[in-house]
Structure 1
Amino acid sequence: MKLLSWNVNGLRACLTKGFLDSMADHNPDVICLQETKMKPEQAEFDLAGYHRYWNSADKAGYSGTAIFTKEEPISVTYDFGDDIHRHEGRIITAEYADFYLVCCYTPNSKDQLARLDYRMEWEDALRAYLLELDAVKPVVYCGDLNVAHTEIDLKNPKSNRKNPGFSDEERGKLTELLAAGFADTFRRINGNIEGAYSWWSYRFNARKNNAGWRIDYFLVSERLMERVTDAGILPDVFGSDHCPVTVTLN
């Protein structure tokens, strides 16, 4: 089973930049999208063979997630936890026979870490939610998690220290999640390779120069790791400032 996750930075725009061709080329069984920035009725497109599930933000043109899946899930739920977490379309959970799939678009901490307090509240609540699911069956947790975990996960770690996405607080929360029983599939499969990024600024020819960040992930419950046969990043797929990431389960 091949799963693909991609922050498309506006699906309507991405559809004009080869989205459907890229999905046909890679033919994933499940497509998880973040930052769709739309409601499902705002764009018609042909993606035959997939069941579609959308979670749009209350605010138009903002945030949003979607799951397109060939296999119909047992159940699908939207958002989680307290009401404060339920208005930006950031979480979809699909239940399959032997695991839960959670597609996530993690809140950005904003410039000067203006939203860091909420980000910390989100991280703690989300970790508790994932552990509740994990107590029932294993979890595949994917999406734009808006954090580069270690220094090898971004091109310029020293100059970005304490910036949003590379603050000690955000990195620490990902460390806590991994310590709670989750595995970073890309690092487990590929080791400490450098220069593997999933997001690049639109400025300064960052993508051309591969001055990027790895902030898009597939994490899995530790007991599911034995089923992971591949975990990759697809930097040659364009259409967004992010590229897709993948995982394959046997």
Structure 2
Amino acid sequence: MAIILSTVNVNGVRAAATKGMLAWLDATEADIVCLQETRATDAQTAAALAPALAAGWVLTHAEPESKGRAGVGILSRRAPDAVLGFGSTEFAASGRYLEADFGELTVASVYVHSGEENTPKQDEKYRFMAELGAYLKARTGEFVVSGDWNIAPAEVDLKNWKGNQKSAGFLPEERAWIAELLAAGYVDVVRALHPDVAGPYSWWSYRGRAFDNDSGWRIDYQLARGELTGRAKQAVVERAAAYDQRWSDHAPVTVQYR
């Protein structure tokens, strides 16, 4: 089936809803929108998105056990047939992964946290990656996992790659993990459709003039497998026209599958 799928880290759904996210949802042609970092409970997320839900969007959400952190969701034009996680024990309540079935297609929203080299936070990131990676490699069928991976796969995926070679998000172990998923049969559909360009970046720091200078990172993407990969016809990062028009430090990444 033809489908338009978007993914965006909202950087706090309650704040994003007051800054322009609701207008974007009203205008988008997407059939499904994967959300990351809602940083809210199920009830708070539903309240923030109440106008969108009243307009017909259906919300599926995994609230985080840690207040103010993580939280992932899926907005869809129709209710999913089934919803589940990925069977993790340690991260089941972390609000980092959620998947939903729509007929033969399964769509997942994932949030891999940023990490910090040589800290317990990075160790936790690696444990999450190990569990999630094993699950994703075992998946079959029409499947796309979208989200904020907090990993730039290659030099072309961040503006200042030379200065970030020892930074979390561009560490060799992290990049190798993404490479393993691609070797296992996943396709980075945005990169496949834009093979020779820098980026297109999806995240820019709020600090300095990173957005104005397009000094960003491509850390939000869609990994797909199955026949779906051959039907990805167009991919775009919906970058705001100006700094003051942003409703998140991330931009929606939208792919049309035909």
Task: Give me the TM-score of the superposition, normalised by structure 1.
Answer: 0.93
Equivalent of residue 99 in structure 1, options 100, 105, 125: 105
Correspondence 1:120 to 2:126: yes
Closer, same or farther: CA 128–112 of 1 in aligned 2, 3 Å: closer
Could you report, residue by residue, the CA deviation over 1:191-211 in whole angstroms, capped at 9, with x for unpaired residues? Answer: 121152001111111111111
1:15 match: 17
- After TM superposition, what 4+ stretches of structure 1 lie above 6 angstroms from structure 2? none
The residue number in structure 2 matching 1:239 is 247
Residue 217 (structure 2) aligned to one of 207, 213, 217: 213
Contact 1:54 1:65 in 2 (8 A): yes
Say if 2:230 is the partner of 1:226: yes
| 1:181 and 2:185 correspond | yes
Rounded to whole Å, the distance in 1 between the matches of 2:131 and 2:196 is: 29
Alignment pair present for 1:163 and 2:167: yes
Q: CA RMSD in A?
A: 1.5
CA contact (8 A) 2:232 2:256 kept: yes
> Secondary structure of the equivalent of 1:246?
strand
1:244: Cα distance to partner? 0.6
Query: What's the CA shift string for 1:40-99, capped at 9, x where partnerless?
Result: 32234211212111101112221101111012221011x323321112101111012222
- Name the counterpart of 2:152: 148
Task: Calculate the TM-score normalised by the size of structure 2.
Answer: 0.91
Matched residues in 1 for 2:124 and 2:70: separation? 16
Cα distance in 1 between the residues matched to 2:227 and 2:183: 13
- 106-115 or 81-90, which moves further after superposition? 106-115
Q: Aligned residue for 1:191?
A: 195
Pick the aligned partner of 2:78 from 60, 64, 71.
71
Unaligned runs of 5+ in 2: none
In structure 1, what is the Cα distance between the partners aligned to 2:117 and 2:183?
Answer: 28
1:19-58 correspondence to structure 2 within 5 Å: 19-42=21-44, 43-44=47-48, 45-47=50-52, 48-58=55-65
Instruction: Read off the aligned partner of 1:140 and give its amino acid letter.
Output: V
| In 2, Cα distance between equivalents of 1:180 and 1:125 | 15
Code of the aligned partner of 1:249: Y
The one-character-per-residue Cα deviations of 1:130-157 (angstroms, maximum 9, x if unpaired) are 23332xx221010000000000100000
Identity among equivalent pairs (%): 36
CA contact (8 A) 2:143 2:226 kept: no
Q: Is the 2:97–2:109 contact (alpha carbons within 8 Å) kept by the matching residues of 1?
A: yes
Classify 1:21/1:70 alpha carbon distance in 2 versus 1 (closer, same or farther; 3 Å): same
Aligned residues: 247
Equivalent pair of 2:137/2:181 in contact (CA under 8 Å): no
Deviation at 1:111, TM superposition (A): 5.1
CA contact (8 A) 2:58 2:79 kept: yes
Cα deviation, residue 110, structure 1: 2.2
d(CA) in 1 for partners of 2:211 and 2:252? 14
